[in-house]
A and B are shown apart, each in its own frame.
Chain A
Amino acid sequence: MTTSAPSIQATAPRSFHAAHAWGAALAFLLCLPALLPLIVILSASVVPEVAVWSHLTRFVLPEVIANTIKLVVGVALLAGTLGTLLAWLTAMCEFPGRKFFDWALLLPLAIPAYVLAFVAVGFLDYAGPLPTWLRSVFGPGSWFPPIRSAGGTIIVLSLAMYPYVYLLARSAFLTQGRRALEAAQALGLSSSKATWRVALPMARPWITAGVALVCMETLADFGAVSVFNYNTFTTAIYRAWFGMFSVSAALELAGVLMIFVLLALALERRSRSAAHFASARDVTRDAPRLALGSWARWSALGAIVSVFVLAFVLPMTQLLYWAVEHAARDLDMRYVGFVARSLLLAGSAAVVVVAASVALAYTLRRNSTPLARSMARVATIGYAIPGTVLAIGILVPVIAVNNALQDVLKTWFGDSAPVLLLQSTLLTVLVAYLARFLAVGFNPVESGLQRVTHSIDEVAISLGVGGSALLRKVHVPLLRTSLATAATLVFVDVMKEMPITLITRPFGWDTLAVRVFEMTSEGEWERAALPAVAIVLVGLVPAALLTRRGAHVA
């Protein structure tokens, strides 16, 4: 790139440079929402709360640190394996029902992790139907593995979160094409060796990006781990905040968590900084899928069906059962509004976040300085910050701005000054979503962009296609799968999001997730099934669109 750069500049249209500068400015602006809460968090960490800390380090942190590491490693391994394996099977192999499962394996994404957790505990705990039935058959002493345990938590969270890895790995396998695999086999590798030595390493940026999302969400999760009463770093943050009324201790803990996440991300970056992942770009729809032997075919199908049943069919059956039970009392015309508002928020967040991700990824691609790279890292960390902490981190600066403006209006207009309430506007909701979900959009887009080689840009620019035309005519078609993946993930994540929506929504702006909150906050889980089912159904829409789009590309 460095050697050919002067020639690009010589032939590039003027608008290219302008676009470059605008892109950098835009990217900085996009990072701003995510940086604000970090500043709030870090500024609170300047003065440590000694009394609270000495208690925490003695009685709370040893347990939660060990628990958190166990949970994150466990979920990363299990969800990573499941997601990669399933994506491999549906993208590269042929087996009965492949087309259906290609789409269906995404569906668990739409079930919020806390809902899956509650259904699992309700079904599998001692008093649940399955252990009760087992006791009635095999006697009262019959043993059943406890669901409220580290193992149970890991399994349930993995079932809820594997779709992040699945979706990204699938996008990798689809775009790298099966030709590379064919080539490897032609060079004498067996098909399993070709998989291990060619296909998986080539998909590594996607798999890592997916696993990173899973780790971040696991770290930030409060709802699901609370159902298992599994104490993590996040539950410790909430304990300091709500239990001990120590906001500063809570923010300090959040600061420690963030530093830990940044280090982990930096290490991961370094480990693959030497590798390049550009592919020869043969988007092949004609290369044959791997033919599996009959044993392999049926065991693949068995694995897929069991994941699908455990992660989707069973929980949905339970939810539908509850939802139907309560529909007569709870289902009314207000649901039209809940659905419409959920759709509007999720849809506009998807547009905003994906656009921001593209701008950020491009700035990094063209201007890959260490500063720019670390800024992008920091900007995407919102996904690892516990939701309520992030919501307050956004709210505090927005309120400060609002109050400053209000003071100005007051001095100008006196008592007739209009009343501003920026903190509960859709604008603030979207800004906060951007801070929270930038990673969800950015990770797929950044991975996808590695497929677009610099030589493609050079050729395009030398042909006079530069600036926004380069983006529109060359990159967007190449990135279609990644963009659709990013949009789907953000859309579904926003559908499920609670803390930000709750505290920043305008008066009366209740969504489906807000309904779930209203029911669950006083333990009415069965009544929460109705809005939860609605979330899943609305979440199906982008999943269906995505696979149609994916199928088109493949």
Chain B
Amino acid sequence: MAIARIHFRPRQVRTAIAAGLLLLAGLGVGGCARQPAELVVYSARNEQLIKPMFDRYTADTGMPVRFVTDDAGPLIERLGAEGNHSPADILMTVDAGELWHAADRGLLQPITSQPLTANIPASLRDPQNRWFGLSVRARTIVYSTERVKPDALSTYEALAGPQWKGKLCLRTSKKVYNQSLVAMLIVEHGEAPTEQIVKGWVANLATDVFSNDILLMEAIAAGQCDVGIVNTYYFGRLLRDKPALPIKLFWADQAANGVHVNISGAGVTTHAPHKEAAQKFLEWLSMPEAQALFAGLNLEYPANPAVSADPAVLAWGKFKPSGLNIAKAGELQADAVRLMDRAGYR
């Protein structure tokens, strides 16, 4: 009887349910109802390397930027699961392979932008313009100035030679930077010759592979090995803390293909709620002022060739980067991982 007297109109019921859901979401502090004008970034690049960029952009344009940081793997899974209801406008990673993977799964959309294609060289962006490199990270040879003459060094491939037996240090093959490096070697040489090179590296190892580049360089300095392969910004960071370390960078493969470079970059997501704003933000990031800051925060090289690197970075000298399109690193990453497994590169 009591029930019959209460007539909810459907509209009221809906409003009530919606209010309930909002309350539920409200429990989560900020779990709902974003403002119309703001950007949401999923970033595998550290907070301390991106927050200053976002703050600057908000100060310049009034556009607020919200972000979540995590490893690229979980972020890409989340983006995929969220589908057309994802709040994310931009995915940012620290490796081209991950951007390739996201694009391959249809999570990034092509952007037609004159400033972006003009500012970012073709080898540092997706051939279909679904993602763009924003900073360049060179992965090259580091050596002990006490025990190695730079004349003895030449290419990544040469480190597989017998003269480096027991003198080479490498970082783990789990790190995506090495996976990308090997993928690019596959592009250059083909799979079987690359496997021989990697086997040669493994045979030359002075000790089990390291979990990061800093430990590797400290091992070279301490005399455990003589040469290794590292990202340049780790070198810069270590030398900033310990300037006396007897190690130096050598630009690999200058006579032929050039130094292997990777990127930290970003793309606009397929279902971006604020596509135009996201595109504007990427364009801004490719401009000189932002480029200097973006790369400088981590001692990387700007992706925009018109912008010069931080003085500390320039001091390492000029080099010729590889001109191969970095998208290949993603395409061949799984092959590279399998190859390294076969070669016993742990």
Contact = CB atoms under 8 A, between A and B. Distances in A.
B87 A510 contact: no
Contacts of A523: 212-214, 234
A505 B78 CA distance: 13
Interface stretch (A104-112, A181-189, A233-241, A280-288): A233-241
A400 interface: yes
B28 A422 contact: yes
A395 B77 contact: yes
A244 B335 CA distance: 8
Interface residues of A, number: 72
A252 to B, nearest CB: 16
B208 A229 contact: yes
B55 interface: no
Interface stretch (B17-25, B148-156, B188-196): B17-25
Given A229-B209, A518-B46, A521-B46, A55 B174 contact: no
Nearest to B344: A59
Contacts, number: 188
Contact of A402 (B47, B85, B94): B85
A39 to B, nearest CB: 14
B82 A425 contact: no
A17 B213 CA distance: 63
- Is chain A's binding surface mostly helix, strand, loop or mixed? helix
Contacts of B81: 395-396, 399-400
Contacts of B74: 388, 391-392, 395, 499, 502-503
Interface in A225-281: 226-229, 231, 235, 238-239, 241-247
Given A426-B27, A503-B70, A518-B46, A421 B214 contact: no
Contacts of A426: 27-29, 31
Contacts of B56: none
A510 B215 contact: no
Interface in A266-325: none
Interface stretch (B115-123, B126-134, B158-166, B221-229): B221-229
A405 interface: yes
Given A239-B174, A428-B28, A125 B215 contact: yes
A241 B207 CA distance: 27
B147 interface: no
B33 interface: yes
A229 B214 contact: no
A107 B139 CA distance: 41
B106 to A, nearest CB: 14
Interface stretch (B61-69, B249-257, B285-293, B310-318): B61-69
A76 B34 CA distance: 48
B338 A55 contact: yes
A418 B33 contact: yes
B83 A140 contact: no
B5 to A, nearest CB: 25
Contact of A243 (B29, B334, B346): B334
Interface in A471-529: 499, 502-503, 505-510, 514, 517-519, 521-525
Contacts of A522: 46, 49, 94, 298
B130 to A, nearest CB: 16
Given A227-B211, A229-B172, A388-B71, A507 B46 contact: no
B243 interface: no
Given A406-B85, A425-B25, A506-B29, A518 B47 contact: yes
Given A121-B215, A418-B18, A245 B83 contact: no
B73 interface: yes
Given A127-B219, A505-B68, A421 B27 contact: no
B179 interface: yes
Given A132-B222, A242-B176, A506-B30, A418 B22 contact: yes
Contacts of A547: none
Most buried by A among B46, B81, B298: B81
A229 B28 contact: no
A303 B72 CA distance: 44
B14 interface: yes
30 contacts: A121-B211, A126-B222, A127-B224, A226-B172, A229-B346, A231-B346, A243-B176, A391-B74, A392-B74, A392-B77, A395-B74, A412-B14, A413-B18, A418-B18, A421-B32, A425-B25, A425-B31, A426-B27, A426-B28, A426-B31, A427-B24, A427-B27, A427-B31, A502-B69, A508-B66, A517-B69, A522-B46, A523-B212, A523-B213, A523-B214
